[in-house]
Amino acid sequence: MRLRTKFSFFAILILVIALLGMSVILFIFEKKHLLQTMREGQVNTIKGLAEVCKEAIISEDDLLLMNYIKVVKRTTGVIYAMFVDDEGKVVVHTDTNLLGYVYRDSIGIKAQSSEDLLIQSYKGREGGELIDVSLPVLLGEGRLGTARVGFSKVVLNRIVEDTLSLTRRRILVVTGVAFSFGIFGAFILAQLMSRPIRKLTEGAKSIGQGNLEQKILVKSRDELGDLAGEFNRMAKKLKELDQMKDDFVSSVSHELRSPLTSIKGYVDFILRGKAGPLNKKLIEYLTIVKNNTSRLGMFINDILDLAKIEAKRFELGKEALELSPFIEEMVTFFQPQAEEGKIQLETAVPTSISLVSADSDKLRQVFTNLLSNAFKFTPEGGKITIEAKNAGSGSFVEIAIKDTGVGIAEKDVQKVFDKFQQVKSSGSKVKRVKGTGLGLAIVRGIVEAHGGRIWVESELNKGSNFIFTLPKA
């Protein structure tokens, strides 16, 4: 089954369920509303009769009561209306033959003994179901009698059925029209959705066959448009990489960094909402793209730095540098990470420490790599310490970054500064850390380019101590 057919089928299915659900809800609501309206009408009728009865008694106007009884009798569904005095004797009735009659049946007795509105159902003399609504007529604290109105349940049910039948027809008409428009809309939407997906499929197949000139033309500003853009950028990147493969070292700086900068720029542009409104999911995806772009950029920078180091083309801008404020700056930078991981970050730098001759940017890179590794491999509740002291030879300053992390096995200590080496820590209390395996190789290259050296002292499950030296200024 093709995607367009599936989409249309499920869209129509959802539409049918929604329309059926709405129709049932509307029908039930209309029925409840109709029954409630009828009940309110019955209550209003008996209240009106009771009020007229009280006024007629007070004013001794029997004609007023008799005329109102006739009006009530003309109300749809009303079978009888009456007023009985406190002794149960009929004072006025729509059937004049019952004047003076005393009701002794259970319905009449309950109506006359009730102190509030009372609604009762019973079968009349002719077998039809009736609803008797009664209300006491009060004057002050005294009871003058009881007003009663009888409604035919058959007539009322017929009115309800007629009204609901009309409602059903209206709902069917509206549902039919909505269903027709819904089907039309589902097919249009399925076509609009499947067309760019089909273009993506064809374009991906062409790119997979090596046609890197292929451009996927999807102009929609949504996930499909973004995916098409990523395919196009991927094709462009593959083409660039194909052109670069014979001259990688000489052109890598420009050819790798430029596309990444472009991607990051466009992602930042989209994340700022310049290309249109974004939903929460799209922001999440674009943030992932942005983070991974930055990570890839850092990896490329590591490769380039390492290539420069190995080619002896690593340039340093040395200057006389005060270690104490520099180390405090690094502590400030990593303090949020320490607080998040509940790790204690301390320094032990004497005020008498000598100035060092170093490139501040490159030294910052050394500290960042070493401290990042320390945080990665130190569990919650651990401690990281930065120490500095004048080396015994007198011409160097010795800096150490200690941690109470998982440590390094003795057999792996000699490999930590090799390229693409990542030491595995078994039984660790920290999460497994992924990386490029270039960080410590670059650190060693930078330290040695300064004329110093670096080594590590470590014991498994007790921690590591990375020590390096820098020449004094």
pTM for this predicted structure: 0.43
Q: What is the mean pLDDT of the chain?
A: 83
CA angle in degrees (0–180, nearest 5) for 52-57-62: 80
Third-level CATH fold of 3-159? Beta-Lactamase (3.30.450)
Short-list 406, 407, 404, 434, CA closest to 422: 434
Q: Please report, for the chain, the start and end positions of each structural domain, with discontinuous segments joined by +.
A: 3-159, 224-311, 319-471
Quote the tokens at residue 89: 């004797």
Spatial distance between the Cα atoms of 424 and 412, rounded to a whole number of angstroms:
9
Q: Kindly report, residue by residue over 423-443, the tens digit of the pLDDT.
A: 665 555 555 555 667 888 889
- What is the pLDDT confidence band of residue 402, given thresholds at 50, 70 and 90? very high
Domains 3-159 and 319-471 share a fold: no
**Per-residue model confidence as pLDDT tens digits over 333-378:** 999 999 998 999 999 988 888 889 999 989 999 999 999 989 988 9
- Give the mean model confidence (pLDDT) for residues 301-326: 79
Question: Which pair of structure tokens corresponds to residue 325?
Answer: 């404020």
Region 314-318: mean pLDDT is: 82
| Residues near 232 by beta carbon (within 8 Å), at least 6 away in sequence | 215, 216
Please give the pLDDT value at position 247. Answer: 47
27-81 pLDDT, tens digit each: 889 889 989 999 999 999 999 999 999 999 888 888 898 999 999 999 989 999 9
Residue 468's pLDDT is: 93
Rounded distance between C-alpha atoms, residue 86 and residue 55, angstroms: 16
| Three-state secondary structure string covering 42-59 | HHHHHHHHHHHHHHHHHH
Q: Which of 390, 373, 384 is nearest to 323 (CA)?
A: 390
The token pair at 457 is: 């002292």
Q: Which two tokens stand for residue 157?
A: 């049910």
The Cα–Cα gap between 92 and 66 comes to 7
For residue 62, give Cα distances in angstroms to 52, 65, 135, 142, 222: 10, 5, 19, 20, 80
The CATH code belonging to domain 319-471 is: 3.30.565.10
Q: Which residue(s) pair with 386 in the sheet?
A: 347, 401
Which two three-digit tokens encode residue 266? 């466009």
Q: Which CATH number fits domain 224-311: 3.30.470.20, 3.40.50.2300, 1.10.287.130, 2.60.200.20?
A: 1.10.287.130
Confidence at residue 125, expressed as pLDDT on a 0 to 100 scale: 74
**Joined tokens for residue 310:** 């190995």
Q: How far is CA 40 from CA 36, 112, 133, 167, 235, in A?
A: 6, 22, 11, 20, 73
| DSSP state letters, 75-95 | STTEEEEEEEETTSBEEEESS
